Structure 1
Amino acid sequence: MNIFDVVGENFFKPLTSQFKTIYLDCLTIIYDSYRSELSYGIDREILVSKLSDYFERSNISDIEFEDESEILKDSRSKATTFLRKLKDFGWVEYEISNNQMAKIIMPDYAVTVVKTFLDISNPKEMEYQSEIALIYSTLTNEELLDRPYPQVLRPVFERTHALFDGLKKLNTSIKKYIEAITADKTSEEIISDFFKYHDEIGSKAYHRIKTEENISRFRNTIIGRLRDILNDRDTFERTVKGYQNIENENDYYTAEDEVKAQISAIIDSFRSYDEIVSEIDKKHSKYLKNAVERAKFLLLNTNNTEGKISTILQYIAECYNREEQNNLTEDASDDICALFNIFSHGFLSGESLKTVAISRKITDVEDIFEPVDMTDEERELRRIAISEKNKNRFSKKNVEQYVGTLLSDRNMILASDIPIETKRDLIRVIFISLYGHSTKSEYSVKQKEEIISLQGFRFRDFEIRRRYK
């Protein structure tokens, strides 16, 4: 169906008119009033009073529409006229109640559009963890399976869309900041954007993705429960019939295909999670690196001779652009010309801006060492010695093997359970904690409040858990 068949041909005209900002403010007031009303609709006089207060507070000057001869001067006439025009455009409707009072209502499509505008203007932080937890709890709640489509599959499908749309928006937001760096900005603006990025993205959305419980903890169960719906014939048939009832689909086989498509889409989304987060990681690192490098370049480049000349030229260009009576095609004033005296230098001296190159004589490079002949036995002994040395290193592989031995058939141990007798044992515990914070590690760590004292060493206790991938 064409959208204009639903909303009407003139629905979007207020948003392209010269008074689009006022129209949007009025719609926001109507929307907020409509949501807060417990009864059906808003009393017209109450709404006119609220709109009048808006025009009074905003000190909006006289308004004259092109298609009307009347000039709107007072706040009430502005409020009633804008309300009437919004009705003509299809944003609101009038309804007469039993007591003959006019009520203002908003059509469902108008509510949806205004809500979308407000979401764009004031974006809210998505709680990724709560969305994942709701999807997980919905799929694992056996009581909901008596109506599997409306109570399980449909809400899970919608929340999955919302979750991954939120991740893609985060990816796009970082991309916007990266592109802004290449714009014509000063070092101060880049540093300001850097802190703004940290406040809005780095310390909030991105931080939550990297520090909260990972989606992989729930992913296998979510995918498994969705496959159960596909494989259990009775549950699947009830899901298809539920789709037919809710979505008004008469053909059983079409409904069956749609249900399978929804389940496949959810599974594919959760499988692509690592790829999306990896892309977000790359963009986050790229932004941090580019912002620092760009700011460093601008800060350093303004302190050398080339940077100072560039700053002077920039200032002169800004002066010309600010003065309408002058333009860049006119001759510069004598005062400006006196600043520059450019001519060919012809030779290099100690006062030249160009550094004089220092010539060096290239000599043959002497051999650093002579190869040492080793017998096969000596070579094998050396290989064994290096191998033993590598086994004793605190590499990620060695530490993960040690933790795997500690966990054995358990899912969790405490750091305080690890035997510590020497300084080397304590260093190993430190490396266990460091590697455990990486999402690519085979185990995870979680800090506890208790301070442990062992063999003269003190450290904060932490849990060591096996990570399931």
Structure 2
Amino acid sequence: MRLFDVVPEELFSILASPNRLIYADALSVLYDAFRENLKIQKNTFFTMIRSRLEDELARSEFSEDGISEEEAQDLSGRARFLIRKLKERGWIELERGDDFEEYIILPDYSIKILELFSELTSENRSSGFSFVYDTYSTLRMAHEDPDGGAYEKMMALNGAYDKTLALIKMLKTVYHNINRYFQQQIDMRDVNQVLAMHFDDFLQHVVEAYIRPLKIKDSIPKYKVPIQQVLDSWLEDNDLLNAMANAALQEKRFDSLEKCRADIVSKLFFVKESYEDFENEYLNEIDIKVRRYTRATTQKIESLSNNDQTVRGNLVYLLNALSDTSKASELTDRIQPVFQIFAQSWMGEGSLYSQRRPGKREKCDPVLISEESVDLSRKALDEFGAAINSPYNKKNIRAYMEKLLGNADIAYTKDMPIENDMDYILSGLAVIAASDRDSFYRIEPVSGVVASNKYELPSVRFIRKKVR
């Protein structure tokens, strides 16, 4: 379905006309009327436009928009013209009620667009959120509720899935929104503007509103492990997965039990792996961008301050030049006719100390070079070949883990065949190699110790990473 299959083709034409500012104000009044009333009487909306836009209506000319002579005579006529124009372009509809009064009706697309306009122009953009905590509390309550069944767990999973999608959308919005501050900063030529945008806008609406809560209040690192523990316990319970699939089938989410189960398993893995990747793929990238913006702000302030030709800028230049002690006395004499400034010095503990000067190097007997020639390039190649052919290189560790996992997604330490010292060493190196960026698996510690032959190993769960 295309856009203009849903909304009227001329819906946005009023926002491209010469009188677009008053039309935008009229849409704002319309949204206020929608929020304040369930049933919006046409006379009530007319009164709101007439009182709130009195000055704008008096200054506006609607001759190009098709206003009649009768409507153009006074403010009331122009207010009626605005309502007529909103109806013609599809922003509102009119219906007559049982009391024979006309009422304003807003189509669903109009409500959504007006809500977006209100959010974009609102000064209070730092609204709070609790995506992470809501996900944690929803899953935890469904997991620990003794009376909670498969239906409650299925609904909790869907809620956690929606919250995770909303969190990802918010993080992407924050990441891309930082670029807007870069672009605004380029055109600024005043230090006070740069400072105001950084402290009053960026820190308040980006850092304090979104980034800090995700690390302190609505913390991803704090709630990540409890969320994953609940999801792991559900994934390992086959009977529970079948019961949740039956509950989803009864809700007619899909037309077969297999599709319902596949959807539940997919959402479980999506939420679990999203919280595994949030810090590396989202928070760290946002932190890098914030540091770049902060560094650019500092450089912009220094540049504007140093290039400032006002009295303040000249003073900064003079103080920077006087900080060079080797030229301070000369510069002080030159600027004495303009500024009553003088150099000040003092005696301290280091004043009576003379720095030791390095002595002159004396010639020594030449060092004899051994007659035995060493082919360094050949030696380096031999060492490199030995490292490649080592039984404990990355290739052998990867082959060892591929053999352990096979076609399975999860394996445990108890599944490792430890027959000799080489197997024991490879098992330890496999745990270390899981932290590599190119590793195809990751690990999770499990309580307990596993004994295999004469060797003892800590219990670890090896999980194959999902291919994106």
TM-score interval, smaller chain: 0.5 to 0.7
Specify whether residues 67 and 271 from structure 1 end up closer, same or farther in structure 2 by C-alpha distance, changes over 3 A only.
Answer: same
2:294 corresponds to which of 288, 298, 302:
288
How many angstroms does 1:62 deviate by? 4.2
Specify whether residues 254 and 180 from structure 1 end up closer, same or farther in structure 2 by C-alpha distance, changes over 3 A only.
Answer: same
Gaps of 5+ in 1: 309-350, 352-363, 371-469
Paired residue type of 1:84: R
- Cα deviation digits, residues 133-189 of structure 1 (max 9, x gap): 111111111256553477313322222222232223222333322343344533343
SS at match of 1:119: helix
Aligned match of 2:277: 272
Aligned match of 1:127: 128
Assess if the C-alpha contact under 8 Å between 1:44 and 1:103 holds in 2.
yes
How many angstroms does 1:26 deviate by? 1.7
**Mapping of 1:67-106 within 5 angstroms?**
68=66, 70-71=68-69, 72-106=72-106
Aligned match of 1:28: 28
SS at match of 2:64: coil
Paired residue type of 2:273: D
Assess if the C-alpha contact under 8 Å between 2:95 and 2:102 holds in 1.
yes
1:55 corresponds to which of 53, 56, 81:
53
Q: Distance in 2 between matches of 1:151 and 1:269?
A: 19
Q: Distance in 2 between matches of 1:9 and 1:150?
A: 41
SS at match of 2:6: helix
Aligned match of 1:44: 42
1:172 corresponds to which of 155, 158, 176:
176
Aligned match of 1:9: 9
Provide the identity percentage: 21
2:159 corresponds to which of 155, 158, 163:
155
How many angstroms does 1:49 deviate by? 1.0
Q: Distance in 1 between matches of 2:208 and 2:189?
A: 24
How many angstroms does 1:5 deviate by? 1.9
TM normalised by structure 2 equals: 0.58
Specify whether residues 227 and 116 from structure 1 end up closer, same or farther in structure 2 by C-alpha distance, changes over 3 A only.
Answer: farther
Q: Distance in 1 between matches of 2:73 and 2:361?
A: 94
How many angstroms does 1:66 deviate by? 3.3
Q: Distance in 2 between matches of 1:252 and 1:220?
A: 30
Specify whether residues 265 and 4 from structure 1 end up closer, same or farther in structure 2 by C-alpha distance, changes over 3 A only.
Answer: farther
TM normalised by structure 1 equals: 0.58
Specify whether residues 277 and 110 from structure 1 end up closer, same or farther in structure 2 by C-alpha distance, changes over 3 A only.
Answer: same
How many angstroms does 1:242 deviate by? 5.3
How many angstroms does 1:103 deviate by? 1.4
SS at match of 1:220: helix
Assess if the C-alpha contact under 8 Å between 2:231 and 2:268 holds in 1.
yes
Assess if the C-alpha contact under 8 Å between 2:42 and 2:103 holds in 1.
yes
Aligned match of 1:298: 304
SS at match of 2:168: helix
Paired residue total? 312
Q: Distance in 2 between matches of 1:182 and 1:80?
A: 44
Q: Distance in 2 between matches of 1:194 and 1:170?
A: 15
SS at match of 2:95: strand
- Cα deviation digits, residues 332-363 of structure 1 (max 9, x gap): xxxxxxxxxxxxxxxxxxx9xxxxxxxxxxxx
Specify whether residues 78 and 173 from structure 1 end up closer, same or farther in structure 2 by C-alpha distance, changes over 3 A only.
Answer: same
How many angstroms does 1:240 deviate by? 4.1
Specify whether residues 300 and 257 from structure 1 end up closer, same or farther in structure 2 by C-alpha distance, changes over 3 A only.
Answer: same
Specify whether residues 207 and 153 from structure 1 end up closer, same or farther in structure 2 by C-alpha distance, changes over 3 A only.
Answer: closer
Q: Distance in 2 between matches of 1:98 and 1:158?
A: 41
How many angstroms does 1:290 deviate by? 2.0
Paired residue type of 1:221: P
Specify whether residues 224 and 211 from structure 1 end up closer, same or farther in structure 2 by C-alpha distance, changes over 3 A only.
Answer: closer
Q: Which moved more, 1:266-275 or 1:59-68?
A: 59-68
Paired residue type of 2:228: I
SS at match of 1:289: helix
Calculate the aligned-residue CA RMSD, in Å: 3.5
Q: Distance in 2 between matches of 1:181 and 1:62?
A: 35
**Mapping of 1:315-330 within 5 angstroms?**
none
- Cα deviation digits, residues 105-156 of structure 1 (max 9, x gap): 212221111111211222632434x322111111111256553477313322
1:198 corresponds to which of 203, 222, 227:
203
Paired residue type of 1:33: A
Q: Distance in 2 between matches of 1:11 and 1:255?
A: 40
**Mapping of 1:52-451 within 5 angstroms?**
52-66=50-64, 68=66, 70-71=68-69, 72-122=72-122, 124-128=125-129, 130-142=130-142, 143=145, 145-148=149-152, 151-183=155-187, 185-196=189-200, 197-212=202-217, 214-240=219-245, 243=248, 249-275=254-280, 276-302=282-308, 366=360
Specify whether residues 85 and 138 from structure 1 end up closer, same or farther in structure 2 by C-alpha distance, changes over 3 A only.
Answer: same
How many angstroms does 1:248 deviate by? 5.5
Aligned match of 1:355: none
